Amino acid sequence: MEIIQLSWLQLAFGFIILIIPAAILWWFNTGLTGKMFVATIRMTLQLLFVGYYLEYLFEYDNTWLNLAWIMVMVVVADFATIDRSDLKTTRSLVLPIFWATFIGIVLINLFFLELVIQLPNFLEAQYAIPITGMVLGNCLRSNVIGINEFYYNLKENNERYQFYLASGATRSEALYPFFQRALQKSANPTLAGMATIGLVSLPGMMTGQILSGSSPMTAIQYQIMIMLAIFSGTILSVFLAIIFCNRTVFFDNDVLDKSIFKE
């Protein structure tokens, strides 16, 4: 079945539905009405920009161009992670989180695109860009939760961490309970999503594929694969982000550099 092409007028008509949430948010004086309009405009402009860019990327399908685009996505995710995590945008965090996210994405892409789907070129735009985008979006959310939990829990329970050090723990051993809790917190939303997927929600990728004419079973196979990629990617990137950051945010005496916190 051919997908019905949306005209710009039809799309514009779709925006009328925003009257309902805007009215509800305004009536309850939430202060979010303005934010809703800003967010909607940003979402529309960003997606239109990406749409035009992806058309260009898909047309040329150049490996280096695709890689450059992935790097741009990782850099944006890197700064967005720190911005949303209540930590300062310092060199000691920007570089480790960039490398953690980049390595996580590359490993996940290599595994799924090269070994599972067995693409001739694993950076083929049609597969690499959307899958990277989906994994990266989830990595961003998990990294924010994981990094925030790790460093703020450590700040609040600094004496417990220091008690472990004073009982003969290495820095890694003393940080183990904080690591454990950060992983639990960051994994929980994805795990909850996996447990209810298909029953409570139909995921976006699968819906998109079905709308564009794929058979439901093909769409489901891809959706299962993307869920595995998302879960593995998020855990890997949170793990690497904390490991890499820990190499730069502690002094030689194992004391946490508190200048990373926004005060």
Partner 1 sequence: MLLQAKHIDFSYGDEAIFDDFNLAVEHGERVVLKGESGGGKSTLMRLLLGFEVPGSGTLEYDGTPLNGKHLRQFRRECAWLPQDLNIGTGRVDEVILFPFRFKQSGNSMPDEEKILDILSDLGLDADILEKEFTDLSTGQRQRVGIALCILLDKPVLLLDEPTSALDEASKEKAAGHLFSDPDRTVLSTSHDPFWLERCDRIIDLDAESEHKQNGS
Q: How far is the CB of 170 from partner 1 (least distance, A)?
A: 6
| Residue number with CB closer to partner 1 (153 or 190) | 153
Three-class SS state of 7: coil
Dist. CA 109–CA 125, nearest whole Å: 12
Give me the half-sphere count of Cα atoms (radius 13 Å) on the Cβ side of residue 25. 12
Q: Write out the DSSP string of 127-143.
A: HHHHHHHHHHHHHHHHH
Q: Cα Rg for the chain, rounded, in angstroms?
A: 21
First to last CA, the chain: 56
Give the interface with partner 1 as residue ranges (CB under 8 A). 157, 159-160, 162-170, 173, 177, 252-255
Residue type, 96: P
Three-class SS state of 3: coil
Q: Taking Cα atoms as reference points, which of 244, 226, 247, 206 lies closest to residue 136? A: 226
| Residue number with CB closer to partner 1 (177 or 208) | 177
Q: How far is the CB of 263 from partner 1 (least distance, A)?
A: 14
| Residue number with CB closer to partner 1 (35 or 160) | 160
| Residue number with CB closer to partner 1 (124 or 254) | 254
Q: Report yes or no: 237 and 101 within 8 Å, Cβ to Cβ.
A: yes
Q: How far is the CB of 152 from partner 1 (least distance, A)?
A: 15
| Residue number with CB closer to partner 1 (86 or 254) | 254
Q: How far is the CB of 255 from partner 1 (least distance, A)?
A: 6
Q: How far is the CB of 175 from partner 1 (least distance, A)?
A: 12
| Residue number with CB closer to partner 1 (29 or 167) | 167
Dist. CA 182–CA 208, nearest whole Å: 33
Q: How far is the CB of 88 from partner 1 (least distance, A)?
A: 20
| Residue number with CB closer to partner 1 (164 or 231) | 164
Describe the crossing of helices 204-211 and 216-246 by its angle, rounded to 10 degrees: 150
Dist. CA 162–CA 169, nearest whole Å: 9
Q: How far is the CB of 153 from partner 1 (least distance, A)?
A: 10
Three-class SS state of 87: strand
